[in-house]
Amino acid sequence: MYSDIVATPKGTCVVNPIQSEYTLCGDAWDGATDEPGYEWKPAKTKSVTCPHCVLIVNLCKTLGTRTTGAD
């Protein structure tokens, strides 16, 4: 099981690494959603299948990164 991926009714979602009570697509772990019966379960796969999480992951893959600091 993977702690950074959770199974939801939408599919497998990525847990937000900054705000771990939410997925990347914005769903809260405590069921604060409009979907009745919504809950997070441990995922048995590393593949993301939630359409909204997939969109965010694919967008992030296109971005460059750099760190700032003292020169």
pLDDT band at residue 9 using 50, 70 and 90 as cut-offs: confident
Is residue 48, in this structure, part of any structural domain at all? yes
Q: What range does the domain containing 26 cover?
A: 2-61
CB 35 within 8 A of CB 25: no
pLDDT tens for 11-68 read 999 999 999 999 999 988 876 556 677 788 989 989 999 999 999 999 999 999 888 8
pTM for the model: 0.79
Q: Total structural domains in the chain?
A: 1
Is residue 14, in this structure, part of any structural domain at all? yes
Q: Alpha-carbon distance 26 to 44, whole Å?
A: 21
Is residue 69, in this structure, part of any structural domain at all? no
Is residue 41, in this structure, part of any structural domain at all? yes
